[in-house]
Structure 1
Amino acid sequence: MNSGELLERSLAYAWGSVAEVGDGPLERRTPCAAWDLEHLLGHLDDSLDALYEGLTGGRIGLLPHTDRACGFRTRAGAVLGAWSAGPPGRVLVGERPLDVRVMAVVGAVEIAVHGWDVAQACGRPRPIPVALAAELLPLARCLVAEEDRGVRFAAPVAVPDRARPDARLLAFLGRRDSFPG
């Protein structure tokens, strides 16, 4: 597994979801009960800022909050450009070093799943590609600890073992594979 490729595929999937935002209201519900679409897109902005900062040691200036979808596309392009320019081997998270490939994998899980959340909030079901979900699922299982439940993630949702990888990934992260909107 190439962490840069995984990040790129997650960004491409989320990019397609964010394209569905359009001019509709940003107060739409999301699968993340405490967030509306505007908060979710803001969280994606923050995630991309952190990735970019880790990849470059620099920072993307904040964009106006009036066009979150445009902000996502701008930041996603900057992250991909920074990755292709050759990121450092390690980044500091606080005072702790972290392998940049681990940062990319964390970003890939975060961005793909929130891309699904955005599509659901827009009323346009858009499954995470099966191959991408199959690669992200074991990584998510390594990244999400029990103490994350109730704080960053809801409790896992039961699904059959034979469920598709995208449904199992979403269920592991506390989401159902459909959202009533």
Structure 2
Amino acid sequence: MPDPRDLFRSAVTAVTAVVDAGTDPDTETPCSSWTYGLLLDHLVSGDRLFVGLLTGTMSPPSSPRAAGALAEPVPSPADYRTWSSRLADVFDDTEITAREFQVPAGRLRGDQVIMLRSVEHVLHGWDLAKAAGAPTLDLAPVAAALEEPARHLLAAVGAQALGERRPFAAPVPVDPTASAVDRLVGAFGRDPGWSPDPVAGYARLVEQFAGHGDVELPDGTRRGFGADGLRTDGQVFACTHRGRLMIKLPAAEVDRLIRTGLGAPLAKPGQRPMREWVLVPFDGAASTRADQAYGFVSARG
């Protein structure tokens, strides 16, 4: 098994790229009732807490904080780097792995503490990526390396006990042939197929373009392809399709979104995928991508 300290640093590196993508702090996440901002705060405050616990400058709280009790203002990417780096430095102390510590999840050895924080960063990094519309590809190798030791950790702590400590949850059944990331997040209570609410997401986009004089909003009178779509110069640039946002973008950008796992191809049965159309979630990047689609179609009109 890789050194736990190396796994933690790899997890932090992968999540840093997600955090740097940024998004609206109020964006919903796969963790019910926890917004992007609250989860980022949870990660940063968690690292700050564990620095205190492992260095003896802080006692463990009697119970985890509720989502609504998380502090404001929302931490920045710089805050994430600062505290994850400080915790990594604490983990580098070779005496840490040999000692036992009383932490919110129970009494754990130092190497188990490192594993716990690594899992938290990968799990919540996945949450943040799903919310922000950022790639999760960099999390894959870390998740693969963490999967077996993470299951040992679950056995040591107890899945029920850990599930009671939000924002973990009870395990979700996942196909054994699924990716390592999906299996890991499922083991800690996430639905790998989660996506944001499409109805609320599209309503926000309609409101976003309501002030554009050259944009025709859906009025329920059209039928056929793009009936509920947003149009400019008579051409659809964004609409809903089977719970996702369908947008028109340059072929190169469509290819990039599909390649990074952020988008899915759009094709009629028995036909090749459309080169300039892609399906994306109504996540924190939906507004920006709809703007890109609007600009692309407007320029060609």
Q: Which category of TM-score, normalised to the shorter sequence, fits these structures?
A: 0.7 to 0.9
| Matched residue, 2:51 | 52
Which of these residues, 65, 76, 79, is aligned with residue 71 of structure 1? 79
Q: Deviations over 1:88-147 (max 9, x none)?
A: 3325316x8642111111111111111111111112241453332122222332333242
Structure with the bigger RCO (C-alpha within 8 Å, sep 6+) is: 1
Amino acid at match of 1:140: A
Equivalent residues in 2 for 1:88-99, closer than 5 Å: 88=96, 89-93=98-102, 98-99=108-109
Amino acid of the residue matched to residue 29 of structure 2? Answer: T
Q: More helix by proportion, 1 or 2? A: 1
Gap change, CA 1:69 and 1:179, over 3 Å in 2: farther
Give the TM-score taking structure 2 as reference length. 0.52
Q: Does the alignment pair 1:139 with 2:149? A: yes
Find out whether 1:154 has 2:162 as its counterpart.
no
- Give identity over the alignment, percent: 26
Distance change >3 Å, CA 79–CA 165, structure 1 → 2: same
Please provide the CA RMSD for this pair.
2.6
Structure 1 residue runs of 5 or longer lacking an equivalent are: none
- Structure number with greater Rg is 2
Deviation at 1:169, TM superposition (A): 0.8
Contact 2:15 2:139 in 1 (8 A): no
Q: Greater share of strand residues, 1 or 2?
A: 2
Distance 1:150 1:86, change over 3 A: closer
CA deviation digits over 1:40-91, x for unaligned, max 9?
A: 01110122113322443347xxx97354322111111212233335453325
CA contact (8 A) 2:41 2:74 kept: no
On the 8 A contact 1:90/1:97 being kept in 2, the answer is no
Take 1:142 and 1:3, find their aligned partners in 2: how far apart are those partners?
13
Tell me if the contact between 1:45 and 1:75 (Cα under 8 Å) persists in the aligned partners.
yes
Match of 2:175, SS state, is: coil
Distance in structure 1 (CA, Å) of the matches to 2:152 and 2:29: 25
Question: C-alpha separation between the residues in 1 aligned to 2:31 and 2:165?
Answer: 12
Provide the TM-score with structure 1 as the length reference.
0.81
Alpha-carbon spacing, 1:127–1:4, altered in 2? closer, same or farther (3 Å): same
> 2:27 is aligned with what amino acid?
R
Could you tell me which residue of structure 1 aligns to residue 278 of structure 2?
A: none
Distance (whole Å) between structure 2 residues aligned to residue 98 and residue 57 of structure 1: 15
